[in-house]
Amino acid sequence: MSLLARLMRRRAQAAEGMAPDEPLVVVGDIHGRDDLLDMMLARLLPSDARIVFVGDYVDRGAGSAAVLQCLHDLCAARAGTVCLKGNHEVMLLRFLAAPEDNAAWLTYGGLETIHSFGIAGQGAAPSVLAEALRAAMGAELIDWMSGLPRLFQSGNVAVSHAGADPTRAIRDQSDDALIWGQRGYGRMQRSDGIWVVHGHVIVPRVSAQMGHINVDTGAYKTGRLSAVMVRAGAFDVVETRG
C-alpha cells in the first residue's frame, strides 16, 4: 500500500496550482509533545517523501529535550529531512546568549524546556539557568539549532514557520516575516503563484485559503499534531492525537 493510501485520514483538499518538485510532508508546531512526534514519525516512516518541520519544537509541552534530540538525530540519519527555525527556538538561543535581557522566555514555556533537560530552575537567576541549560544541551545540539534554516522551497511550495510577506518575493523575506509573522498575513493572495505552508498561529483544523496552509493545530494545547502531504493540486491531512 502506498504512503498516501496509508496516511490519508480525510478526503483530499484542493489547492489549485500547488506543484512541489517532490513528494513533501510538512509537520506542524510540536512544542514539546514528544509523544505526538513519536506517533507521527511512526506513521510517516519509512517513506521516500521529504519531511519538513515548521519549527517551534520547544516550550509549552513537557518533552522539549526529547523532541530536539529526536529531530537532531533524524536529520543526521535521514538525508533530506528539513527542520526550520521557529520563534521559540530563536527565544531559547537568545536566552542562552543574554539570559538577563531575555528572561521573558521563561514565561513563554522556557521553564518547561529547562525542566525537560533535568534542571529544577524555579527561583534561580536567569544566568544560572542559562549556564545549566547550555551544559545540558551540549555544543552539538546548540550549534544544530543555531544553524536551522528559516525557509524551504520545492517547486511553487514554500515552507516557513510563520508564513511570508505577500508583497515581497519569497527569496527576499525578512526574518521577522518568516519566523515571527506579520499583522494581516493571510488576507492577501500572493501574485507569484507561490503556496506557503506554515505554523505559528493555532487553527482548529488544517485548511487552504488565500495561497497558504496553516498546519499548527496546537499540539501542546489540543493534543493534536497535524501534518500535510502535499502533491500537485491537492494535499492530505495527517493527524496524531494523544
The residues, any chain, with a CB within 8 Å of residue 130's CB and separated by 6 or more, are 95, 96, 99
Question: What pLDDT digit, counting tens, does each position of 16-62 carry?
Answer: 899 999 999 999 999 999 999 999 999 999 989 999 999 999 999 99
- Interval 129-133 mean pLDDT: 97
Q: Which residue has the higher pLDDT, 9 or 220?
A: 220
Map grid coordinates 529531530 to a residue: 71
Residues forming a β-bridge with 82: 52
Domains of the chain: 1-15+33-64+75-85+150-242 (3.60.21.10), 87-147 (no CATH)
Task: Indicate the pTM of the whole model.
Answer: 0.94
Q: What is the DSSP letter of 27?
A: E
C-alpha 33/C-alpha 54 separation (Å) is 14
CA distances from 119 to 112, 124, 192 (A): 10, 10, 48
SS3 24: strand
Examine the pLDDT at 5 and tell me if it is beyond 80: no
Question: What pLDDT digit, counting tens, does each position of 189-217 carry?
Answer: 889 999 999 999 999 999 888 899 999 99
Question: What pLDDT digit, counting tens, does each position of 59-77 carry?
Answer: 999 999 999 999 999 999 9
> What is the dihedral sign for C-alpha 142, 147, 153, 159?
positive
Q: What's the full length of the chain, in residues?
A: 242
SS3 165: coil
- Residue 181 one-letter amino acid: G
Query: pLDDT band at residue 188, thresholds of 50, 70 and 90?
Result: confident
